[in-house]
Amino acid sequence: MNRVFVASQAARRRPCLATAVLAFLAGCSTGPQTTTTASPPPTLHVAGYSTQFPLNEDPISEGGHWLVGKTNGLDWGNVSTYPGYAFGHAGPASYADPVALLTGEWPPNQSVELVVDRRAVFRYPEVEVRLRSSLAKHNCDGYEITFSLKDDDNAYLIIVRWNGPLADFTYLLQAGGKQYSVKTGDRIKATIVGNEIKAYKNGVLMGTVKDGTYTRGNPGFGFNEGWNGDYGISEFTAKATDGSSF
């Protein structure tokens, strides 16, 4: 609410009690009129994107909404889709994960939720959330939050910071155990607010870490390097805001 404060004094004095009281309160002088207006709250910038992958595309584009690892970054792998399913093609080198990042300018506080589609897997199948990430020729940086599709005690959750060049990354969190395994229909989500990253499985907080290296970037998703079977995701939802909650 805006408040207006006005100080004034009658130009003439009149010999009455009311006038005398007003003059006393006003200090017997005429003051300037002043107005104080409260500043409006800042406008929050909010962005969002959701898809269930309705198209056959190699690589994914959806009308120019996506950048991909090989086409745009050269050293990593692309992501393809057919209706209801997104999956990866690993790049030719170690750590050349398939990756897809949304285009455009995104506010810094971000949330990404994926729905897992696990079919026939082996080795090290992973579904990855990307936050505050960027992709250009020979450069892929930002944060990766990874859940394993292994179905035993060898499953894991990792959070890493990609530093730019291929195979250059830093572990921020490593946790192991069957509780981190994901399967078809599981919803995995990761958020970053300020410098705190949180990882969720079906609404349950599974891990958290803090890192302040990247303050801007785009959300997206990816998969592990190499050939790890037939798996992917069936839904993707990203939200971002300048505020502290989504």
The residue count for the chain: 246
Q: Do 58 and 7 share a structural domain? A: no
Residue 210 lies in a domain: yes
| Domains identified in the chain, total number | 2
Residue 51 lies in a domain: yes
Q: What tokens were used for 106?
A: 């995104």
Residue 64 lies in a domain: yes
* pLDDT score recorded for residue 39: 58
Residue 13 lies in a domain: yes
Q: Do 1 and 115 share a structural domain? A: no
Q: Do 130 and 14 share a structural domain? A: no
* pLDDT score recorded for residue 17: 36
Residue 206 lies in a domain: yes
User: Nearest CA to 190 among 221, 166, 168, 211?
Assistant: 221
Burial class (CB in 10 A: 0-12, 13-18, 19+), 175: middle
The widest CA-to-CA distance across the chain, in whole angstroms, is 99
Domain of 34 in residue numbering reads as: 1-40
Give phi and psi for 44, each to the nearest 5.
-85, 135
* pLDDT score recorded for residue 1: 34
Only one residue has tokens 């502290």, namely 244
Q: Do 190 and 164 share a structural domain? A: yes
Q: Do 91 and 35 share a structural domain? A: no
Q: Do 188 and 112 share a structural domain? A: yes
Q: What tokens were used for 212?
A: 């302040």
Residue 246 lies in a domain: no
Report the alpha-carbon angle 230-68-118, nearest 5: 20
Q: Do 202 and 130 share a structural domain? A: yes
User: Nearest CA to 69 among 128, 118, 119?
Assistant: 128
Q: Do 62 and 12 share a structural domain? A: no
Q: Do 14 and 112 share a structural domain? A: no
Q: Do 29 and 85 share a structural domain? A: no
Mean pLDDT, each 10-residue run in order, the chain (246 residues): 31 37 40 54 81 98 98 98 97 95 97 97 97 98 98 97 98 98 98 98 98 98 96 98 85
* pLDDT score recorded for residue 46: 83
8 A C-beta contact, residue 157 and residue 207: yes
Q: Do 200 and 92 share a structural domain? A: yes
* pLDDT score recorded for residue 36: 52
* pLDDT score recorded for residue 218: 98
* pLDDT score recorded for residue 90: 93
Residue 160 lies in a domain: yes
Predicted TM-score (pTM) above 0.85: no
Domain harbouring 73, CATH code: 2.60.120.560
